[in-house]
Amino acid sequence: MTDTVAARTDHDPAPLADDAPDPRRWLALSIIAVAQLMVVLDASIVNIALPHAQDALHISTANRQWMVTAYTLAFGGLLLLGGRIADYVGRKRAFIWGLIGFALASALGGLAPNAGLLFAARALQGAFAAVLAPAALSLITVTFTESKERARAFGVYGAISGGGAAIGLILGGLLTEYASWRWCLLVNVPIALVTALAAAPIVRESRTEGRASYDLPGALMVTAGLVALVYGFTVAADDGWSDARTLGLLAGAVALLVAFVVIEMRTSAPLLPLRVALERNRGGSFLASLFTGAGLFAMFLFLTFYFQQTLGYSALKTGLAFLPFSGGIIVSAGVASQLLPRVGPRLLAGGGAVLAAVGMALLLRVGLDTGYASHVLPSVLLISFGMGFSFVPLSSVALIGVDPQDAGVASALVNTTQQIGGSLGTALLNTVFATAVSGYLADHGNSRQAVAQSQIEGYTTAFTWSAVLVAIAAVVTFVMVNAGREAATAAEGTPVHVG
């Protein structure tokens, strides 16, 4: 074991005998679970609040996606570095400072007077979440040393990840409708600060032995490259794909990402050891997660705007309309866990992606006065069941044959690729949406009916490409993943993030 209990501070509990279970471990789990719930809530709350924030701060259609992508880019791009920081600085310390930073960033976003400050605050939230999330997961691992108890603790963590999204949908609707969209960010402040105060005397410190080594150049290159890529997609909405600024940003993004790969090949302590991603099954898992995240996050964005701006749903009704998705994810993830040892990951993950792609394709039927139960609900249920069937085996495949020293990186990469895919897909398809709307108006004029129908044209075009992206994930899974049923035991004791 490379982990050791760090030197005790004035705020740490009394030391325990070797291998003695922490008598307050379940209380510590409740504190960690609250932090995880807050991070999960943030994503679904912000989705519900986005149309109101766009109106209040006069955010353009091309730029509105930054409220989502600023967070997911920072979170996904810095997650591996955040895990390394937590290991060496101390998981408890990283957990507490992550909570405090998340609270301050949430306050900044909730009070932001303009779009620029709001986007910056969302990026800061993502950066602190990238330290907080791996610290929380590591604390569960080191707090629960007995395998059955650890499995139960991870079960609580997974339930929070899945069910927390549903709570966020309702809470976001209530806060937006009866208070203000700003409270969807400000609500994090008291939760995070109280959780940090509770963690200080209860949660035990632990850190990795040895000299700290951080791949800062690698983190800088990959984050800058992803930001340039998303910004290039955003600029294309106004300037076009052939514009010099668009092409320059996209070329710069490619150069930065190539530089990242070169750095990872040469550094002694890489942020992403390439051996982890280059194995066939693991690489297929990460690539499928990337395309799945791209299609899924974009679908949420456009369906939220469709509910509120086309069908005239309130924020609360929009949250309720998404509840079947959260329920479907929870149910199907549980079923997938039971099916995985019997059918193996390839059929389950690939079939789930096909099911989700079909659900997204059915969204092409939406119109100006579409019935929710007849048109939208069947699609939402198909997508949710497909995602649940896909997430569980992909997380399992990510750990097949991985060296023990790479297990943390491998397990984090599923969430990392999903977040990065979500960032890229949201930015790209937001530009596709804007282009489709502009093209429709150019052909049909600017009458009230044409403007309303142009939004439908934009939504259906975006849903088409969302379905294509998830279908690509299915193809990647069927082509690259060839692991057998033994993959079912590869991730034993590892929670699956389905929120």
Q: What is the pLDDT of residue 259?
A: 94
Q: What is the pLDDT of residue 489?
A: 52
Q: What is the pLDDT of residue 219?
A: 86
Sort strands 3-4 and 207-208 into parallel, antiparallel or unpaired.
antiparallel
% of the chain exceeding 70 in pLDDT: 89
Q: What is the pLDDT of residue 490?
A: 47
Between 407-444 and 377-397, two packed helices, what is the crossing angle to 10 degrees?
Answer: 150
> Is the pLDDT assigned to residue 331 strictly greater than 80?
yes
Q: What is the pLDDT of residue 97?
A: 95
Q: In this predicted model, what pLDDT tens digit does every residue of 338-349 receive, in sequence order?
A: 888 888 889 999
More confident residue, 492 or 14: 14
Q: What is the pLDDT of residue 485?
A: 66
State how far the alpha carbon of 379 is from the alpha carbons of 7, 348, 366, 389, in Å: 53, 19, 10, 16
272-280 average pLDDT score:
85
Q: What is the pLDDT of residue 492?
A: 47
pTM of the complete model: 0.85
> Looking at the DSSP assignment, which residues form a beta bridge with residue 208?
3
Q: In this predicted model, what pLDDT tens digit does every residue of 200-229 receive, in sequence order?
A: 999 888 776 666 677 888 888 988 999 999
Stretch among 102-111, 155-164, 305-314 having the lowest mean pLDDT: 155-164
Q: In degrees rounded to 5, what are phi and psi of residue 366?
A: -65, 150
59-85 average pLDDT score:
88
Q: In this predicted model, what pLDDT tens digit does every residue of 157-169 receive, in sequence order?
A: 766 766 677 788 8
Alpha-carbon distance 499 to 497, whole Å? Answer: 6
> Is the pLDDT assigned to residue 16 strictly greater than 60?
no
> Looking at the DSSP assignment, which residues form a beta bridge with residue 4?
207
50-75 average pLDDT score:
91
Residues ≥6 apart with Cβ < 8 Å to 23: none
> Could you tell me the two tokens for 487?
């993959």
Q: Which residue has the tokens 């997911």?
A: 72
Band (327; pLDDT cuts 50, 70, 90): confident
Mean pLDDT over each residue of the chain, to the nearest integer: 86
Q: In this predicted model, what pLDDT tens digit does every residue of 351-410 receive, in sequence order?
A: 999 999 999 999 999 999 888 999 999 999 999 999 989 888 887 887 777 776 676 677
Stretch among 183-197, 412-426, 444-458 having the lowest mean pLDDT: 412-426
Alpha-carbon distance 115 to 182, whole Å? Answer: 13
More confident residue, 310 or 207: 310
Alpha-carbon distance 413 to 415, whole Å? Answer: 5
> Is the pLDDT assigned to residue 461 strictly greater than 70?
yes
Q: In this predicted model, what pLDDT tens digit does every residue of 408-428 receive, in sequence order?
A: 677 778 778 888 998 999 999
Q: What is the pLDDT of residue 25?
A: 83
128-143 average pLDDT score:
85
CB atoms within 10 A of CB 275: 13
Most confidently modeled range among 32-36, 176-180, 283-287, 470-474: 470-474
100 CB-side CA count, 13 A:
11
Stretch among 19-28, 325-334, 450-459 having the lowest mean pLDDT: 19-28
> Could you tell me the two tokens for 363?
């969204």
Q: What is the pLDDT of residue 487?
A: 54
Q: What is the pLDDT of residue 1?
A: 39
Alpha-carbon distance 112 to 108, whole Å? Answer: 6
